[in-house]
Amino acid sequence: MVGMITYTVLADDPDLECRYQCPGTGSLDGDAAEECAEHFHDFHDGWESGWPIVIVLFDRDDDKEVGRFEVDRTYSPIFTATEVAEE
């Protein structure tokens, strides 16, 4: 079953905090926080944020906070080669 996860990303200025929703299944745990972080990164300009970020997850039924998770962004380098002509 696919449901929606409601989350926010904590900011230095609470007035800048928004609630977002991303598709997710299962428990509201660290895995869900990682899904939300990916959603924030891809759809809400999260690539511009300073990482790590703190994600707050909210209960699906009563909208109460159920957990806070620090999520960091990691990258694996990808290398590409293009042949160049000798000068």
Q: How does residue 2 score in pLDDT terms, banded at 50, 70 and 90?
A: low
- Pick 3 or 21 by higher pLDDT: 21
pTM score, whole prediction: 0.80
DSSP for 66-87, written as a single string:
EEEEEE----------------
Predicted confidence (pLDDT) per residue in 29-44, tens digit: 999 999 999 999 999 9
Distances from the Cα of 63 to the Cα of 2, 23, 50, angstroms: 18, 16, 27
Query: What value does the mean pLDDT take over residues 46-61?
Result: 91
Which helix (H) or strand (E) segment holds residue 55: the answer is strand 53-58
Distance CA 49, CA 87 (A): 42
Supply 30's token pair. Answer: 């660290």
Would you say 40 and 46 are in contact if contact means Cβ atoms under 8 Å apart?
yes
pLDDT at residue 1 greater than cutoff 70: no
